[in-house]
Structure 1
Amino acid sequence: MKRIAFWLLVMLFVKVLGSIVFEYRNYFPANFESNFLVGREAFFSGSYRVAFYTHILCGPISLLVAAFLIFSGSRKALSHWHRRLGKLLASLVLLVLLPSGLVMATRALTGPVAGAAFFVQTFATALCVGFASWYASRRRFNQHRAWATRTFILLCSPLLLRLITGATVAFELESSWTYRFAAWGSWLIPLAVYECRNSILRRSIARSIKGTLS
């Protein structure tokens, strides 16, 4: 069942990422009647334009590299590529993806509440990448794996954002407030689930050790 669930998640990952990339046909050239670009024509120039194209080109690459790193982390045969691509991902995220995301957050759909979600998420991602890199450099792999997983969860947030906003449209619940909820929930909810899982595992291990010692 775990294997089935894993492959279902992989299929969902690929499908949602593919649907996001498929929308790029409306961005080259910019179609201001498409979903994401509606109402953005007035400021779609200068730094925002550069940030937009930088972000949408770097995003899928970063996500695919991150997925490979999650897959290859426990495979010694891929350790060489894991180290090289880990450094590449850290550079892409910190130097390209996050700065361009900050620029785009200033013009977030529905205003400053959603924009604040993307700002906080950006800094949280930078923090996770920093800790993952630091622990890897010191060969503290358990801590590295935890922070790398948090990084992957945050990088996947656009996919969950897409799912949530798509669901609100399908159920006729679309509004400015549902988008604001999606902007925060798309990364806070999966992070909270991950941290709760870690907490349960730690308590289970502690009980096992205590039982063994007693």
Structure 2
Amino acid sequence: MPAFSKLNSILLWTFSLLVALVSWRFMVFGVDVSMPAMVHHLDGAKLAFYIHIICAPIALAILPFQLSPKLRKTRLGLHRWLGRVYGVAILLAGVAGLIIAPDAATATGAVAGLGFFLLSAAWLVTTGLAIWHAIGRRVVQHRQWIIRSAALTLAAVTLRIEMPLLIWGFGFETGYQSVAWLCWVPNLVLAEWYLRRQPWGVAA
């Protein structure tokens, strides 16, 4: 079991930091070259799109630090400050996600637009509740909701794993509509499964 937990930790750190860094490649190469599937957003809410692709990777990069038990125990002050940055990054990226979701609907259909809209809404709600419980010093509830928030933050990782497979198997339009749901719904289901397996009163 410790080896399994260590493997999970390695995967979390590797994929979170790697995907966050790769997500900022548009700063060097531009959106049209580095994210050709996202170019349609430049014809819509352009500012919201840039806010989303800048801030969402910040939350993803911070996530493994926030889930680290060692950091919580030895550097509680840093944990709280990183938590504030995580919350602000999700606030900005999540609201921007709500704004740009209709652009996805215009480009690839309402199914994709609705999937990404609900992802952004759920991301904002779970993170907001996690912060609310943290302010109220309700540690157990805070950890429960931050795990749900983390599952949705990691949608950035599952999307990049799933999208090439779905596009290869079903074509771009169907693959994109599918990944709009498959990148986050299974994550949330797994988070709930994990939480229900914990002893009562312990969430992480």
**TM-score, scaled to structure 1:** 0.79
Name the residue aligned to 1:20.
23
Give the residue type in structure 2 aligned to 1:26.
Answer: F
Name the residue aligned to 1:4.
7
Bigger Rg, which one? 1
SS of the aligned residue for 2:170 comes to coil
Name the residue aligned to 1:31.
32
Name the residue aligned to 2:59.
62
SS of the aligned residue for 2:164 comes to helix
What percent identity do the matched residue pairs reach?
Answer: 27
Displacement after TM superposition at 1:33 (Å): 8.9
1:134 pairs with 132, 151, 154, which one?
132
Supply the distance in 1 between the matched residues of 2:33 and 2:17 (Cα, whole angstroms): 26
Displacement after TM superposition at 1:172 (Å): 4.1
**Alignment gaps of 5+ in structure 2:** none
Displacement after TM superposition at 1:25 (Å): 3.2
Displacement after TM superposition at 1:116 (Å): 0.6
Do residues 99 (structure 1) and 102 (structure 2) align?
no
Name the residue aligned to 2:151.
153
Supply the distance in 2 between the matched residues of 1:34 and 1:16 (Cα, whole angstroms): 13
Supply the distance in 2 between the matched residues of 1:39 and 1:133 (Cα, whole angstroms): 34
Do residues 124 (structure 1) and 122 (structure 2) align?
yes
Q: Which segment is superposed worse, 16-25 or 106-115?
A: 16-25
**Alignment gaps of 5+ in structure 1:** 206-214
Give the residue type in structure 2 aligned to 1:106.
Answer: P
Name the residue aligned to 1:173.
170
Supply the distance in 1 between the matched residues of 2:34 and 2:155 (Cα, whole angstroms): 25
Supply the distance in 2 between the matched residues of 1:74 and 1:57 (Cα, whole angstroms): 25
Displacement after TM superposition at 1:84 (Å): 1.9
Answer yes or no: is the 8 Å Cα contact 1:62–1:93 preserved in 2: yes
